[in-house]
Copies of this chain bind each other. A is one copy, B any other.
């Protein structure tokens, strides 16, 4: 069992699971969601035994009927198989390992991914930048920016929604078709721009309903949000990219051996 992740559930296996009682979400569905998350992230691997109704009831402080309903819901959705005498077993197989993107070249990950992933351009528009984007691009509010929305997929399934905002007047011109075949950074380079650096911010967030629709995940499923501010060699931010990756399909890795970055400072 993958206790590296389960570990956060506390050392004590007898620790009681807490549910939001009196909440709008029925208890059995809360248990279902918890167990399903555990299964889908590999903490309960294919073939492993699920707790019995009685064990579930005890650990969640619910009736056996409620526990049964949670297990039934898992069975209906194809996560587990319930067999008389043999009990309940996980039959879900992780569809694919998450892609591990090296963060050292993360600004380039769109380019690298280009070889293994497909891009669908949702839209390319030019219009007034909102406050946040304007500030980051050094524009006055309402000044226009180019906005490109793409969905990147791997193996036929969405991997992430990539929303880019570019200054206008950079001499960069492209059609949605260009963006399908060529990474945005390559287009910038082709337009004569020198990239000076970038700042990335990485955070977790819950998907909102529209993002969830584009990514084919449930609303509130975890998403890895990577913001990249790309600067030219004069230090001006020319491109703001916000990428929202499916948590189950995308991870970042940082190897701190080769880069010389690992400089422990013990205070």
Contacts and interface: CB of A to CB of B under 8 A. Distances in A.
Interface in A1-46: 1-5, 7-11, 15, 17-20, 24-26, 28-30, 32-34, 37-38, 41
Interface string A233-267: 00000001010110100111111110101111111
Contact of A19 (B20, B149, B209): B209
Contacts of A225: 5, 204
Contact of A203 (B98, B111, B209, B211): B98
Nearest to A221: B206
B255 A199 contact: yes
Contacts of A147: 7, 11
A200 interface: yes
Interface stretch (A88-96, A100-108, A170-178): A100-108
A30 B219 contact: yes
B200 A256 contact: yes
Contacts of A242: 4-5, 7-8
Interface residues of A, number: 105
A238 B20 CA distance: 38
A116 interface: no
Given A1-B131, A4-B165, 14 more contacts: A3-B130, A4-B240, A8-B210, A18-B209, A18-B212, A18-B213, A19-B209, A33-B220, A34-B219, A189-B264, A189-B266, A204-B224, A204-B247, A206-B247
A196 to B, nearest CB: 7
Interface string A131-152: 1110010000000000101000
A197 interface: yes
A83 B88 CA distance: 52
A206 B185 contact: no
B261 A123 contact: no
Nearest to A124: B11
A230 to B, nearest CB: 9
Contacts of A29: 24-25
A197 B263 CA distance: 9
- For A34, A38, A114, the residue with the greatest tally of chain B CB atoms inside 10 Å of its CB is A34
A8 B29 CA distance: 28
B186 A132 contact: no
14 contacts: A1-B131, A7-B242, A15-B210, A20-B218, A25-B29, A107-B256, A112-B267, A115-B267, A185-B266, A195-B264, A201-B251, A201-B253, A204-B223, A259-B259
